[in-house]
Amino acid sequence: MNIASFIARRIAFNRERSFSRFIIRLAIAATAISVAVMIMTLAFVNGFQEAVSQKIFSFWGHLRVQHYEQYKAAIAEESPILKNDTIVSELYKIEGVKQVQSFATKYAILKTPESIEGVLFKGVGNEYDFSSMRQFLTAGRWVKFNDSSYSREIVISEYTAKQLQLKVNDRVLIYFFKGEDQKPRPDKLTIVGLYKTNMEEYDKLYAIGDLTLVQRLNGWDGGEIGGYEIFLKDYHAMDRVNNEIFEALPSEWGSKTIRDIYPNIFDWLQLQDVNRDVVLGVMIIIAIINLITCLIIMVLERTRMIGVLKAVGATDWTVQKIFTMQGVIITAVGIFLGLVIGLGICVLQQKTGFLTFWDENAYYMLVVPVKIIWWQVLLVVAGTLLVCTLTLLIPSLVSRRIQPAKAVQFR
C-alpha cells in the first residue's frame, strides 16, 4: 500500500467537521470557478470574433479584386474592368476559393417628401448567391433579376428604412450622381426587402440592387464591372490566397483582403485577445494563490500528525508527498467541476441564447455567441493541472522543516 496516497485521500475526503475540511472545499470551489471562467472566456471570445468576422465576410466576401488605383479610398466607386472568364476560371483553380461574384457600386441619394438619405448602391448580377446574407434579411426578399432590362428593385437596411419612414413594397425616389457637371439622374425603385447586420459600416451606407442599373448609369457596356468579390472555404487562408490571386491578375488589376479594407474592425477584434489573456492570467494566479494558502493552512493544522509520522520513521519526502498528492486531488476535483460548469454554461448559451449584450449596436449583435474549441479546453485542463502541481511543491516544503520533538507538543 502507498502510505502517502492513502493518508492524502483520507485527509482530502475527511467527512468530519473541521477547519481543514472547509479550506479544502473552498480550494476546490476556487479552482472550479477559475477553470470555468477560463473555458467560458475562451468560448465567448472565439464566438464573438468568429461572428463579427463572418458578418463582414458574408456581406463583402473575403477578398476583393478590382482596378488597381494606389491612392483611391477602399470604399468608393470603382473604375471599370472587363469581365474575364479566363481569369475567373484561374481563380477557381486556386486552392481555397469557393465563389467569385461580380459587383459595382455607385453613390446615390434616397428621397422621400419628408427626408433624404445618402447610400452607396451596390449592384450585383443574377449569378449572385444571397445565401451567405440570408441571416441579415429581416423582411421581404432579395432582388430578382430579369433578362430584358435592369431590375427596378432595391433592398435597403432597417436603419435607412426607419430614417425615411419606408417599408417593404414602398417605392422610393433615388438620385444617382453621374458627374460633377451633370445633374443627378432620378429613378424610382421598389423596396422589396430590408436587412440588418448591426454594423454601422454597412447599415448606414449600403443599398443593394441590380448591377445592370449601375452599368447603364456609368455608360458601361455589358462586359464592364466594378470588380469581383471572392469567398473562401476558410477565412484563415486569406493572406495566402490573396498572394496567389495577385500573381494571376493582369498588371492593371489588384486584390485586397477584407482585412485591408476594414482594418479598424479587425484591429478591434484583435484587442479582444488582450482581454482574454488578462482574464486567463488572473484566473490562474487566483487558483495558484488559493492552493498555496490552502496547503499551508493544512500543513500547520496537521503539525502533530507530521511529527508523529516522522517519529515512527517517515521520511521528509514521504510527508511532502502526502500534501503534494492532497493538492493534486483538490486540483483534479476542481478542474472536473470547472469543466462541468464551464462547458454546461457554454452549451446552454448555444441552445437558448440566454446571455445578451446590453447594446447590440455597440457589439454588432444581440445574443452572445459561443464557439468551443476543444484543443483549447484540453490546454486549459492540462495547463491548470501542470501549473498547480508545480506550485504545490512550495507549501509542501514547509512540512520538511517540522521537527518531530517540537511537533508532538504543538497545540
Residue bearing the bigger pLDDT, 72 or 188:
188
Residue 371 is predicted with a pLDDT of 93
- Residue 203, pLDDT above cutoff 80: yes
Region 299-308 average pLDDT: 70
Rounded to 5 degrees, what angle do the CA atoms 24, 30, 35 make? 125
The pLDDT of 388-401, averaged and rounded, is 69
How many percent of the chain have pLDDT more than 90?
39
d(CA 204, CA 199): 8
Identify any residues that bridge with 173 across adjacent strands, giving them in sequence order. Answer: 111, 188
Mean pLDDT on 190-215: 92
- Residue 219 CB contacts under 8 Å (≥ 6 apart), including other chains: none
Residue 76's Cβ-count burial label (10 Å; 0-12, 13-18, 19+) is: exposed
Overall average pLDDT of the 3-30 stretch: 70
Q: How high is the pLDDT of residue 92?
A: 92
For residue range 346-392, list pLDDT tens digits in order.
999 999 989 888 777 777 888 899 999 999 999 999 988 888 877 77
Cβ pair 83, 89 in contact under 8 A? no
Distance CA 386, CA 363 (A): 36
Residue 400: the pLDDT is 62
pLDDT in the model for residue 353: 87
**Lookup: cell for 280:** 486567463
Listed range (82-86, 136-140, 166-170, 261-265) with the worst mean pLDDT = 261-265
> What pLDDT does residue 206 have?
93
pLDDT score recorded for residue 281: 87
Determine the average pLDDT of the residues in 244-268.
87
Task: Let me know: does 372 contact 273? Beta carbons within 8 Å.
Answer: no
Per-residue confidence at 142, pLDDT binned at 50, 70, 90?
Answer: very high
pLDDT at position 2 is 67
- Confidence category of residue 148, pLDDT binned at 50, 70, 90: confident
* Residues 335-345, mean pLDDT to the nearest whole number: 94
Q: Which amino acid is at 136?
A: F
pLDDT at 71: 67
Indicate if the alpha-carbon torsion angle 78, 79, 85, 88 is positive or negative: negative
Cα distance between residue 300 and residue 7, in whole Å: 16
Q: Tell me, what's the pLDDT at 381? A: 92
The four Cα atoms 28, 30, 32, 38 give a dihedral, to 10 degrees, of -150
Q: Calculate mean pLDDT across residues 391-404.
A: 65
pLDDT value at residue 225 = 93
Digit-coded pLDDT (tens) for 46-74? 999 888 888 888 888 899 999 887 766 66
**Least confident stretch, 88-102, 299-313, 364-378:** 299-313
Q: What is the mean pLDDT of residues 198-222?
A: 89
Average pLDDT over residues 254-283: 86
Mean pLDDT value across the chain: 84
